[in-house]
Structure 1
Amino acid sequence: MMNRSTIVLPFILCLLGTPLLQADEPAEVDSNRFQQARSRTFLAFDSQTEWTWSKPYFFMQLADPQYGMFTGNQGLDREKVLVEQAVEHINRLQPKFVIVCGDLTNATPNQARYEAQVTQYQQDFSLIDSKIPLVCVCGNHDVGNRPNAESIARYTHHFGDDYFSFWVGGVFHVVLNSSLLKDPSDTPERLQQQQAWLERQLQHPRVKDAKHIFVFLHHPLFLEQEDEPDQYFNIPLERRTPLIALLKEAHVRAIFAGHYHRNAYGRAGEMEMITTGPVGRPLGKDPSGLRIVQVQETSIEHNYHTLDTVPAAIE
């Protein structure tokens, strides 16, 4: 039986002219969609059926929506408009999956506006067709420049595991927490755990038969040269060099990153290092956009498109 306050409160709110639901209020967020990265895998894809090559496919990579960056955390409108454009393209093209390579928000987990930015991100990205899996990667704004147990826990509460792997059509995909590689000083044991896990993944007998191996993270390992000097936008050589050696040995085909807020490209032997410009605020000459990656059995093709030049269809 309803108590008196249950009946009276909505009545009072209506009298005050405050509707219980705004007409333009976003639909309820499907929180399960943002919790697909669990137990170090991505539940939207069944590894048992995705181990083998089936046919060519394409996916779309976004980076740095970074809600709040345009206004220093004072507003989210400009990011919202750009993401809405991207979502329209995604729903029209119907990729195999979409992956967002970090800095989902501008505020970090210990800042006051973090939760509001997470809410806006989830509301906007929930508008992607439910048949298209959405993969989220953590960036330095998502777990902090020096991640710790608490900041990672805040991220995983909203978005699932910070590192994991999954199969799609005979291709093996690895997602890493690159903030641990950038500065592990507050939680060195977590970097060790990720490293041990990565080595086990790459040494698995089935992975050796993958048509391609792709790695996704937020920070580029390097921008143009694998031995370039340390700087803000790459991973320090101390951890970069042995990681590149490991990835080369495993025959990783390509690494996809964001963080730079513009495009960059380099190679380490046959392995491509692909840095994608932002769907949010640009910091260079590359306008806001996204990357389309077409995967063939023996090759890949990838192109960055501004939000105004995304093709009408993918052959």
Structure 2
Amino acid sequence: MKIYFTTCLLLAAIIIGFANTLTAEDSSAKVDERFLQANDRTFRFFDTQEEQSWQEPFFFMQMADTQYGMFTGNKGFEQEEALVQQAVEHINRLRPRFVIVCGDLTNATPDQDRYQAQVAQYHQDFSKVDPEIPLVCVCGNHDLGNRPTPKSIATYKENFGDDYFSFWVGGVYNIVLNSSVLKDPTGAPEVLAAQQTWLGQQLERANEGKAQHIFVFQHHPLFLKREDEPDQYFNIPLERRTPLVNQLKQARVRAVFAGHYHRNSYGVAGEMEMITTGPVGRPLGKDPSGFRIVKVHQSKIEHQYWGMDDVPEHIELTEETAAP
């Protein structure tokens, strides 16, 4: 009996070890290529030659702060999962030119235990977006940590692609920034310096290519209401904000889109709009969980935030609104 009992314990240990090995292998399984299309500082879904010229009005969907785990303090993510699945249904029905998620894809940071589970759920849910609809991912402070490091940025890139990049769509130049190093560059000053050099090159490229509009996407708002408002948790410090805002205005950037605030906010700097969009996940104000629909016309843009339960059945791009 003693020998039998010992044998059973050994078999159980082997089975548990085998199961743990499978779990480890599953957690490190190769990421679906659709989440890694931001590569070599461009978004590979779009062909530059085809997309560099204006053709016709289009719309895209801007989301932010899916933040799996925020409702429960990382104990579960059922509510975020349900909201994202609802968002995916809207995406597949409306069929935007692209959809972009402006950061805080997860609530856990790369150095926390529940991070990989939240990443896996994000991948699982957003893999249900029709593959013909490009999904663009932007890094936020939860994706990198409040003080990003080369290690945390590398972990993000393994799961979601580059932390900053650019791409043409329909004659519009789109620039995605890592705003976490703008917020606090002390853990990765070399990343901020490289991004700043690269940004100058992209703004030149956009203007040389006669972009119909230039859009910037990031997680942190540059500011919520006014370009000279005091520093606070939800904006970029004035030390780095002021020169960047001036640079973007000089380059004729049409709009900057952000999240992070978990509610909506709007401001302008000259002719440049600062558009802060509420969360897909947990709200922190009166605005419900939802996303923004942005209509892009040759001479203007129109945008509106929609609560998840109020999204229209289809999007109209009429000749009247499309005319310059």
| TM-score, length of structure 2 as denominator length | 0.88
What is the CA-CA distance between 1:187 and the residue it aligns to? 1.1
Indicate conservation of the 8 Å contact 2:173/2:206, yes or no: no
Gaps of 5+ in 2: 1-10, 16-21, 23-28, 317-324
Indicate conservation of the 8 Å contact 1:149/1:187, yes or no: yes
What is the CA-CA distance between 1:275 and the residue it aligns to? 0.1
SS of residue matched to 2:166: strand
For 1:58 and 1:207, locate their aligned partners in 2 and report how far apart those are by CA, in whole Å: 24
For 1:101 and 1:139, locate their aligned partners in 2 and report how far apart those are by CA, in whole Å: 7
Indicate conservation of the 8 Å contact 1:139/1:178, yes or no: yes
Aligned positions of 1:1-315 closer than 5 A: 31-204=32-205, 207=208, 209-315=210-316
| TM-score, length of structure 1 as denominator length | 0.90
For 1:310 and 1:77, locate their aligned partners in 2 and report how far apart those are by CA, in whole Å: 22
Indicate conservation of the 8 Å contact 2:55/2:171, yes or no: yes
What is the CA-CA distance between 1:29 and the residue it aligns to? 8.8
SS of residue matched to 1:204: helix
Instruction: Please give the root-mean-square deviation of Cα atoms over the aligned residues, in Å.
Output: 1.6
SS of residue matched to 1:92: helix
| 1:274 counterpart letter in structure 2 | I
Q: 1:162 to 1:40 in 2, by over 3 A?
A: same
Indicate conservation of the 8 Å contact 1:64/1:102, yes or no: yes
Aligned partner of 1:17 in structure 2 is none
For 1:141 and 1:33, locate their aligned partners in 2 and report how far apart those are by CA, in whole Å: 21
Indicate conservation of the 8 Å contact 1:29/1:122, yes or no: no
For 2:48 and 2:144, locate their aligned partners in 1 and report how far apart those are by CA, in whole Å: 28
Map Cα deviations across residues 231-252 of structure 1 (whole Å, 9 max, x no partner): 0000000000000010001000
| 1:107 counterpart letter in structure 2 | A
For 1:133 and 1:205, locate their aligned partners in 2 and report how far apart those are by CA, in whole Å: 21
SS of residue matched to 1:161: coil
Indicate conservation of the 8 Å contact 1:262/1:283, yes or no: yes
Indicate conservation of the 8 Å contact 2:219/2:260, yes or no: yes
| 1:152 counterpart letter in structure 2 | I
SS of residue matched to 1:304: strand
How many residue pairs match? The answer is 291
Indicate conservation of the 8 Å contact 1:172/1:207, yes or no: no
Indicate conservation of the 8 Å contact 1:162/1:176, yes or no: yes
| 1:63 counterpart letter in structure 2 | A
For 2:280 and 2:208, locate their aligned partners in 1 and report how far apart those are by CA, in whole Å: 31
Indicate conservation of the 8 Å contact 1:260/1:275, yes or no: yes
| 1:313 counterpart letter in structure 2 | H
SS of residue matched to 1:78: helix
Indicate conservation of the 8 Å contact 1:29/1:126, yes or no: no
For 2:95 and 2:209, locate their aligned partners in 1 and report how far apart those are by CA, in whole Å: 29
| 2:115 counterpart letter in structure 1 | Y
What is the CA-CA distance between 1:266 and the residue it aligns to? 0.1
Map Cα deviations across residues 165-223 of structure 1 (whole Å, 9 max, x no partner): 00001000000000000000011111000000000111126545100000000000000
For 1:206 and 1:68, locate their aligned partners in 2 and report how far apart those are by CA, in whole Å: 41
SS of residue matched to 1:184: coil
Indicate conservation of the 8 Å contact 1:201/1:207, yes or no: no
SS of residue matched to 1:266: strand
Indicate conservation of the 8 Å contact 1:98/1:133, yes or no: yes
What is the CA-CA distance between 1:96 and the residue it aligns to? 0.3
| 2:302 counterpart letter in structure 1 | E
For 2:30 and 2:68, locate their aligned partners in 1 and report how far apart those are by CA, in whole Å: 17
Gaps of 5+ in 1: 1-8, 14-19, 21-27
What is the CA-CA distance between 1:109 and the residue it aligns to? 0.3
Q: Whose Rg is larger?
A: 2
For 1:170 and 1:203, locate their aligned partners in 2 and report how far apart those are by CA, in whole Å: 15
Indicate conservation of the 8 Å contact 1:30/1:126, yes or no: no
Indicate conservation of the 8 Å contact 2:206/2:214, yes or no: no
For 1:124 and 1:212, locate their aligned partners in 2 and report how far apart those are by CA, in whole Å: 31
Identity %: 69
Map Cα deviations across residues 85-140 of structure 1 (whole Å, 9 max, x no partner): 10010000000000000000000000000000000000001110110000000000
| 1:241 counterpart letter in structure 2 | T
